[in-house]
Amino acid sequence: MNIDELREHLCKEHPDLCPLFSIEFGDGVLLVDRGRLFDAAADLKELGFDRLGMVTAVDRDEEFELVYRLTSRAMSCGMFLKCRVPRENPRGRSLVPLWPAALWQEREVYDLFGIEFEGHPDLRRILLPEDWDGHPLRKDYADDRMIRRPDYI
Amino acid sequence: MTMEVESRREVSGEDDLARQELVVNVGPSHPSTHGVCRVIVHVDGEVVTKAEPVIGYLHRGIEKMCENRTYLQVVPLTDRLDYVGSMYANWAYCRAVERLASIRVPERAEYLRVIVCEMQRIASHMMALGSSAADTGAASMFIYAFDERERIVELFEELCGARLTYNYVRPGGVSFDAPEGWTDRLKDFTNNHRTALSEMDRLFFGNVIARGRMKGIGVLSAEDAVSWGASGPVARGSGVNWDLRKHDSYSVYPRFDFDVPTGSNGDAYDRGRCRLFECYESCRIIEQAAAQMPEGPVKTDGLSRLISPRPGDAYDHIESARGSLGVYVVSEGGPRPYRVKFRSPAFCNLALLPMLAEGHTLSDLVVVLGSLDPVFGEVDR
């Protein structure tokens, strides 16, 4: 299935997701809100995206953007599923029931961004020690040992 | 192996020995782990009931460091991810940046990238096979494999001056053209390497002890391989025919004729043997690429040292020796990336360890870990 067939198929099967779909660099992008994240992921899985390749997040000032990348051998394109969660209450839905691949990757996002995933069976830090303060990949993270490069490069 | 006995089987009651779980700490340093990994193992007698990897000992915050550097300054950092296969992270990162900033790459550079990455695959698989063999006591296999790896490292040294962290693939091309006579020496290498591979196949995979240690150990089903996000030889050992070079073909790979070896049992033996057969295919690709490689520049002309892509995000992935290595780059328009994420195949493959090790003996845990071939620079980032 290529990207145009995917768009057509998605719009036919799930008309509610159709306006949220866009194409960037040949990959499909689906931007959903928090409440729909899990269902949208389940729909994409049903469409044939059987692999959860990557789970990550981006700090967008007021919000965090959760980024999921799905792939499949049956598709000639990749698929991004994006979801914005507010900074004051950073909570997402865990995709572990759909793909166990999310088990460690969501722990990593929790560790480095402090985003909690509802329904994750074992949400704790993975790369940093248990007693670490803060979440380093947030833009406002500060640490005495951090060295800032001069702006003139 | 360093082990600390944290609790002992206790004697309770009058005559009965109470069966109690023993918690054994393996690591945090062990030669089989190609880095620093700790595994907390619960054993019932000799049998593992639960194995929990504790990672992060090599976490250097590379993704955070990337946000503080220009696009070009990030390339040497990518060397330090998978230090057994630096070329891959170089290339995956450069592909993502080239996609984001619409940089075109000269054809000769694409061929050189393919050649060095296939050489890197051989070098990395030799490391994986040699060290996992050494863990099972096959010390001679280790020497044979490292001898082959050394030939490649020498060729890399000739090409770019470095033996481990190459910093060779740059946005817009590669840093150096191949020196004179290099492709001829490459051809000599692939010829000799095939002989060495069949020798290693007989020596190790034909050996009754190695078979006994690896067959039926750490069996991964094809369904689990897909849903757990396993890739590379770990997924292909289970019969999942998934190779980005073939199925999401990038660069000049569609021009080459090669096969994707897959296993059928999904055990440590099949994963290891998949790696060995992949080396044959890499030899084929190298020979075809060296023969087809056009003359011309190896760097894009007029590319600014301060790359400032338009705001947006881009993802690109390549097939590394460990699986699909992806790089996600977010730009806000400045000369530094806003966010860089490395999707590490070793991290995803290592997540399988608790499932695969369960039910095997403690000595088999080392075989399972070796067959997943984690490189901790990439796991911890």
**CATH number of the domain to which B164 belongs:** 1.10.645.10
**What does pTM read for this prediction?**
0.88
- Whether residue A97 is preceded by a cis peptide bond, meaning omega within 30 degrees of 0, is no
Same domain, B187 and B317: yes
B348-358 confidence digits (pLDDT tens): 999 999 999 88
Size of interface A-B (CB pairs under 8 A): 89
Q: Inspect the interface and report whether the beta carbons of A127 and B348 lie closer than 8 Å.
A: no
Q: Are B218 and B234 in contact (CB under 8 A)?
A: no
Which of B33, B54, B75 lies at the terminal end of a domain, its last residue?
B54
Residue B7 has pLDDT above 60, yes or no: no
Q: Are A14 and A30 in contact (CB under 8 A)?
A: no
Which pLDDT score, from 0 to 100, does residue B11 have? 44
Which pLDDT score, from 0 to 100, does residue B195 have? 92
User: Nearest CA of chain A to the CA of B17: how many Å?
Assistant: 33
Residue B17 has pLDDT above 80, yes or no: no
Picking from A51, A108, A153, the nearest residue to B70 by CB comes out as: A153
Same domain, B115 and B25: no
Indicate whether B102 belongs to any domain: yes
Cα B11 to Cα B4, B18, B232, distances in angstroms: 20, 6, 47
Q: Inspect the interface and report whether the beta carbons of A100 and B228 lie closer than 8 Å.
A: yes
Judging by DSSP bridges, how do beta strands B173-174 and B312-320 pair with one another?
Answer: unpaired
Fold (CATH) for A3-118: Beta Polymerase; domain 2 (3.30.460)
Task: Count the domains in chain B.
Answer: 2
Band (pLDDT 50/70/90 cuts) for residue B116 is very high
For every one of its 153 residues, what pLDDT tens digit does chain A have, with 9 covering 90 and above?
Answer: 777 777 777 778 777 777 777 777 778 888 888 888 888 888 888 888 888 889 999 998 888 999 999 988 777 778 898 988 998 888 888 999 989 999 999 999 999 999 999 888 988 899 998 888 889 888 888 888 877 777 665
Same domain, B22 and B74: no
Coil, helix or strand at residue A53: strand
Indicate whether B357 belongs to any domain: yes
Which pLDDT score, from 0 to 100, does residue B27 have? 75
Q: Which two tokens stand for residue A152?
A: 């003139």
Same domain, B30 and B166: no
Portion of chain B with pLDDT greater than 90, in percent: 33
Same domain, B289 and B308: yes
The domain in which residue B34 lies consists of 3-54
Nearest CA-CA partner of B262 in B245, B285, B278, B279: B278
Same domain, B102 and B144: yes
Residue B10 has pLDDT above 70, yes or no: no
Which pLDDT score, from 0 to 100, does residue B30 have? 58
B204-220 confidence digits (pLDDT tens): 888 888 888 888 888 99
Picking from A51, A128, A136, the nearest residue to B229 by CB comes out as: A51
Which of B15, B34, B54 lies at the terminal end of a domain, its last residue?
B54
Same domain, B45 and B131: no
Indicate whether B380 belongs to any domain: no
Residue B251 has pLDDT above 60, yes or no: yes
Same domain, B45 and B136: no
Q: Which residues of A fall within a CB distance of 8 Å from B227? A: 50-51, 99-101
Which pLDDT score, from 0 to 100, does residue B15 have? 54
Which pLDDT score, from 0 to 100, does residue A32 have? 87
Residues listed for chain A: 153
Interface test with A, best of B36, B54, B59 (most A CBs within 10 A): B59
B164-185 confidence digits (pLDDT tens): 889 899 998 898 888 888 989 9
Band (pLDDT 50/70/90 cuts) for residue B14 is low
Q: Which two tokens stand for residue B127?
A: 């490391």
Q: What is the spatial distance between Cα B240 and Cα B226, in angstroms, rounded to a whole number? A: 8
Indicate whether B14 belongs to any domain: yes
Residue B362 has pLDDT above 70, yes or no: yes
Indicate whether B379 belongs to any domain: no
Q: In what order do the strands lie in the sheet with A63-71?
A: A21-24, A27-32, A79-86, A63-71, A51-60
Indicate whether B142 belongs to any domain: yes
State the average pLDDT for chain B. 87
Q: What is the spatial distance between Cα B1 and Cα B54, in angstroms, rounded to a whole number? A: 16
Same domain, B48 and B66: no
Residue B277 has pLDDT above 90, yes or no: yes
Residue A124 contacts B, CB cutoff 8 Å: no
Indicate whether B104 belongs to any domain: yes
- Residue B10: how many CB atoms within 10 A of its CB? 8
Same domain, B190 and B228: yes
Same domain, B49 and B72: no
Residue of higher predicted confidence among A49 and B31: A49
**Runs of H (alpha helix) within B73-181:** 75-79, 86-101, 107-135, 139-160
Q: Taking residues B224-250, what's their average pLDDT?
A: 89
b/e per residue A91-130 (b: at least 16 CB within 10 A): ebbbbbebbbbbbbbbbbbbbbbbbbbeebeebebbbbee
Residue B139 has pLDDT above 90, yes or no: no
B35-92 confidence digits (pLDDT tens): 688 889 998 888 888 889 998 888 888 998 888 888 988 999 999 888 888 999 999 9
Which of B16, B36, B54 lies at the terminal end of a domain, its last residue?
B54
Same domain, B24 and B106: no
Which pLDDT score, from 0 to 100, does residue B8 have? 45
